[in-house]
Structure 1
Amino acid sequence: MKLSPLLFILVLLAMASSGSHASDPSPLQDFCVADLASPVLVNGFVCKNPMNVSANDFFFTGLNIPGNTNNNQGSHVTTVAVNQLPGLNTLGISLVRIDYAPLGLNPPHTHPRASEILVVIEGTLQVGFVTSNPQNILFFKVLNAGDVFVFPIGMIHFQFNPSPNKNTVAIAGLSSQNPGVITIANAVFGSNPPINDQILAKAFQVDKKVIDYLQSQFWVDNSS
């Protein structure tokens, strides 16, 4: 699928402006390409020796390739974060492509370290996020190609393709080199080891058998 250059520019400009206010630490040098093989553990990645850096450390290819949506959610997230593009280390930005099959869902989730700006490239999306307690207000919108929506950092949000016969594609920029993702259902019902079913039964005000059923399901990671 050919992506509009104008929409790519829109996303990149938004990412560049968000990077100046990113939650990640600001760089103190021209670049700090992540040394993904280093045994040293820091908040991020240690820098590769600049003498060993090449243009490939700042390069990623394949974002034009549709992701495999053949899963229970009908969606796929192709991530371009520091683990895929080491040159992003310390820059406070990353990028994802999201493919949605007809009626595909990117289920409710949060990014603990990043705000997100999303632009629809093709198709239609129903999107929304929920504010924190006690208000829990849902902000909801239907987006078409060229429309942009922002999800504030840490808010539970989702995207759904309402079309029964057309695919949807979106590109999103995030204000962290490693934004992280917590998919709500996966975390609550698919944790390892499982959360005590009595705790969840009381939390959700349902019978314990409902919790046992939910914990027995296979919870899909749509980024794999």
Structure 2
Amino acid sequence: MENAFLNSLVVGAVLLGCAVFSALAGDPDALFDFIVPPGVMPANVSANNFTFRATKADFVAGKLIVQKISLAELPTLDGAGVSMATLMFPPSVADPVHFHQRASELLQVTSGSLFVSFIDSLGRRFDQKLFAGDAFLFPKGMLHYQINLDPKKPAHAVAVFGSSNPGIVLLGPTLFGSGLNVEVLHQSFNISKETIEKLVAANTPHPL
């Protein structure tokens, strides 16, 4: 009986810990109805401050087009704990390997098809082929990518993030465009310094 009681206490403590961790995992709750954007007087806040006006974007051959709606584009997202992006994939184009350090991502294909994948902290790879209407979750901080494998048709998707400022770390530019020591990169990847130097030359610095 005593053991059963102790086991119940342990299980309860674990569940409480998980609940607390989950509560702290996202953006903090706002203390007001909304946070007034910098430079705007509270009395002057209007519907325009909650509106993002999309600009028409046409496909550029061989280039992924991403239209973000995050804290930088819509300051009233501050404290809202959500942001989004629309992605347009020309044929055979990928969203390169990256991760979001502050948010999970839920991606839904709206037209065409995408092959998606993420790698967890144990090195396991989770692959999936998505079609229009399908959605896929990329957990926070996990390396992932998406690619349109169709050589003829474009694909479109919408991504929703659990943070107003999810952040993005692109693997290539971060490793090879940030000025890391060539010897360190050589020993880290066990490839020749000549190859490292070519990768460095091919990668622009990581965007802020």
8 Å contact 2:172–2:203 — kept in the other structure?
A: no
Equivalent residue runs for 1:12-91 within 5 Å: 23-35=26-38, 48-62=40-54, 65-66=56-57, 68-70=59-61, 74-91=63-80
Equivalent residue runs for 1:155-166 within 5 Å: 155-166=142-153
1:22 to 1:87, Cα distance in 2 relative to 1, 3 A: farther
Residue 58 of structure 1 deviates from its aligned partner by 0.2
Equivalent residue runs for 1:56-135 within 5 Å: 56-62=48-54, 65-66=56-57, 68-70=59-61, 74-132=63-121, 135=122
Residue 33 of structure 1 deviates from its aligned partner by 2.9
8 Å contact 1:117–1:150 — kept in the other structure?
A: yes
The count of corresponding residues between Structure 1 and Structure 2 is: 185
Residue 83 of structure 1 deviates from its aligned partner by 1.2
Equivalent residue runs for 1:175-190 within 5 Å: 175-190=162-177
1:142-163 per-position Cα deviation (integer Å, ceiling 9, x unaligned):
0000000000000001000001
SS at structure 2 position matched to 1:32:
coil
Residue 62 of structure 1 deviates from its aligned partner by 1.4
Residue 54 of structure 1 deviates from its aligned partner by 1.2
8 Å contact 1:22–1:93 — kept in the other structure?
A: no
SS at structure 2 position matched to 1:162:
coil
The one-letter code matched in structure 2 to 1:82 is: L
SS at structure 2 position matched to 1:216:
helix
In structure 2, list runs of 5 or more residues that go unmatched.
1-22
1:145 to 1:92, Cα distance in 2 relative to 1, 3 A: same
8 Å contact 2:35–2:76 — kept in the other structure?
A: yes
8 Å contact 1:33–1:88 — kept in the other structure?
A: no
User: What is aligned with 1:207?
Assistant: 192
Output the TM-score relative to the length of structure 1: 0.77
8 Å contact 1:124–1:161 — kept in the other structure?
A: yes
In structure 1, list runs of 5 or more residues that go unmatched.
1-19, 38-47
1:138 to 1:119, Cα distance in 2 relative to 1, 3 A: same
8 Å contact 2:71–2:78 — kept in the other structure?
A: yes
Structure with greater helix share of residues: 2
1:178 to 1:125, Cα distance in 2 relative to 1, 3 A: same
Stretches (4+) displaced over 6 A: none
